[in-house]
Chains A and B, each alone.
Chain A
Amino acid sequence: MNQKSMDNTTGIIKFVILLIFGVLLMMPFIWMVSVGFDRTANITMPFPPRLIPEKISSFNYGIVFENGRLIQSYINSGIVTTSSVALQVGASLLAGYAFSKGTFKYKRLLFILVLCTLMIPMEPRLIPLYTLFNSFGLLNSFWPLILPTVINGMLIFLCKQFFDQLPTTLREAAQIDGAGEFRIFFTVYLPLAGPIAATMVILSFIWSWNDFMWPLVVLNNQELHTVPLYLASFSLENGTSLGGLTMALATVSILPIVVLYLFLQRYIIQSIALSGVKGE
């Protein structure tokens, strides 16, 4: 009985600590939204900080949308991300399946090669990729952002692990019916790959949406800027002036992702956990 009440109090203490720390973590977001609604924050930031602005106005948000560059960057990010996700997930499903169920020469060696790509960072590839796309006249287009995403070692690895768990007997049955390898893949295994495909889409989406260094190198044309590029150029131009506008812009850029996250949080958290657990 005594033990139980002690457990209860430590439980409450833990809960309170978690709550306080959670509020601290959320504080930059809360402050961001608040300053974004502050009409005077572009001249002087509200100090001492306050939760509800003195002069509430949607002025800053109006400017952000009127400018049009944010919406353009959203469209750009949308095009790039959708294409990358489709290409990356498609290629990884095919390769992951082959590495799981296929029988062919050099299978092990090729798989090790795929795992090796996990060790290669972006930096040593930046300049040759830049000159490669430059020689095809493809700089300042979305192609350099989309095409290189075709190879992703992590996704192939996750996908192989998933197909490893599916029984091989399914294949044998289809083979007896005379189905070719591609038909077996598309009609038997792909329909079962829903969960891993969802995980792959989520991971791929996050990587592509947040990609920064490579787009920064290849996209000089402002009209093609993705969301992170637009934010960075705005921030570097204005520094810590125009606080209200900056915060409104940050809010609008984060909001859709946060909403999406809140809807899909269970799957997103599971996907991240999976990539970490399997990554071991």
Chain B
Amino acid sequence: MNKENMKADTTVLPSEDVTTIKQKKRKATFTWYLFLLPSFIGILLFMVYPIVESFRLSFYQSNGTIETFTGLSNFQLVLTSATFWNTVWNTFFIAFFQIALTIPLGFIFASMINSVRRGQNFFKVIYFLPNVTSIVAAAMIFQFVLHPEMGVVNYALDAVGLPTSTWFSDPSTSKWGVILLAVWHWIGFVIIICLANLQAISPEMYEAARIDGASKIQQWLFITIPNMSGTFAFLLITGWIGGLQRFNEVYVLGGPNGSPARSIQTMGAFIYERGFTGFEFGIASAATYIMFIIILIFTFINLKVSKMNL
């Protein structure tokens, strides 16, 4: 009945009105595109164009002005370069230990902060402070803090009878210096994210567990940790994405070639070195694509792995 009525209505409508409605709709759509205009100019000019252009460049030998097509030779050169694979190893090594140390440690501290009755806010502010300071300034400070002879960390280690380290002054230990800096800088972020999600777990679950006689530790193991798996997945993924792009602190600590002896040169630093100290745009572009693909594959794996946990 109703449907028939509507049908009748549309047939009765004069054709002029239909066109004005259409025009109005088109005008409205146009207005909405105006809202999107600034962002999409940005996407086209600063995202799509550079991504396509650097793909093209990776098949050329180029210094910015003279270009010659060289096919896949840039990729071949990068993939057979021991220097490049060394940077891949450095990047993964530092990122792995940063993540493996910071997420559990940050989660434990977040749980502790969440359960103390006093000073929650105070601890939050203190623990997040390193993350607010720029990593460049932090690297500058850590050069001194981790100095083998006059640094305060070695002094403290020695004072409590622990072995000291050569940190940034020796290729065999320099990565650990970067890891320590990275943990120090990232832990506040991990704690804040964990805390926000800890507080989102419904208190009723704990209530039910308490009635069933579960201890605090049991509650933590069987309620808190399973409920946090989404958070861990998020931290794992953002941690790896950030870790694989590491550049700022290793540039300050070791320059574009990651001294000592390229021991802390990351993939990002390799790209910078080839692109902007050597002006080998083709090779650098090929390297960025290899890095980009590594990040995508790794993010995909991380997503899969963390889905399995969920």
Contacts and interface: CB of A to CB of B under 8 A. Distances in A.
B54 A45 contact: no
12 contacts: A11-B117, A27-B145, A103-B29, A125-B46, A126-B50, A128-B50, A129-B46, A148-B46, A150-B41, A181-B35, A253-B137, A272-B193
Grouping DSSP codes into helix (H, G, I), strand (E, B) and loop, the A interface class, with mixed when no group exceeds half, is: helix
Contacts of A134: 64
Contact of B47 (A90, A97, A125, A266): A125
Interface in A19-47: 21-22, 25-29, 31-32, 35, 44-47
Interface stretch (B8-16, B68-76, B81-89, B118-126): B118-126
Given A22-B123, A95-B39, A273-B196, A28 B141 contact: yes
Interface string A153-166: 00010000000000
Given A128-B51, A261-B129, 11 more contacts: A47-B149, A121-B292, A151-B42, A180-B31, A182-B31, A210-B134, A213-B247, A231-B134, A240-B143, A253-B137, A265-B128
Interface stretch (A61-69, A111-119, A193-201): A111-119
Interface of B: 28-29, 31-36, 38-43, 45-47, 49-51, 53-54, 57, 64, 109, 112-113, 115-119, 121, 123-130, 132-145, 147, 149-150, 152, 155, 184, 187, 189, 192-193, 195-197, 200, 216, 230-231, 233-234, 238, 241, 245, 247-248, 251-252, 255, 267-268, 271-272, 275-276, 281, 284-285, 288-289, 291-292, 295-296, 299
Contacts of B193: 272-273, 276-277
B116 A18 contact: yes
Contacts of A11: 115-117
A176 interface: no
Contacts of B216: 10
Given A47-B150, A114-B43, A123-B268, A94 B35 contact: yes
A125 B51 contact: yes
Contact of A125 (B50, B117, B276): B50
Contacts of A79: none
B198 to A, nearest CB: 11
A28 B142 contact: yes
B257 to A, nearest CB: 12
A254 interface: yes
Contacts of A177: none
